[in-house]
Copies of this chain bind each other. A is one copy, B any other.
Amino acid sequence: MTDPPAFSESSRSLDENAYQGLAGFRSALRRFLAFSEVAASAAGVTSQQYQAMLAIRVHPDRAIMIKELALQMLLQPNGAVQLVDRLVGAGLAERRQSSTDRRSVLVVMTDKGAALLERLAADHLQELSKHEPLLAESLRRLRSMERSGDAP
**Binary contact track A102-122/B, C-beta < 8 Å → 1, others 0:** 000000000000000011011
Q: Count residues of chain A with CB under 8 A from any CB of chain B.
A: 55
A54, B19: Cβ atoms closer than 8 Å: yes
A129 contacts partner chain B, Cβ-Cβ < 8 Å: yes
A90 contacts partner chain B, Cβ-Cβ < 8 Å: no
A6 contacts partner chain B, Cβ-Cβ < 8 Å: yes
Among all A-B residue pairs, the 9 with the closest Cβ atoms: A122-B149, A10-B122, A129-B146, A23-B58, A23-B54, A34-B74, A19-B57, A125-B146, A26-B51
Can you give 10 A-B contacts (C-beta < 8 A)? A6-B43, A8-B122, A10-B126, A14-B118, A20-B58, A23-B54, A23-B55, A29-B29, A122-B150, A128-B146
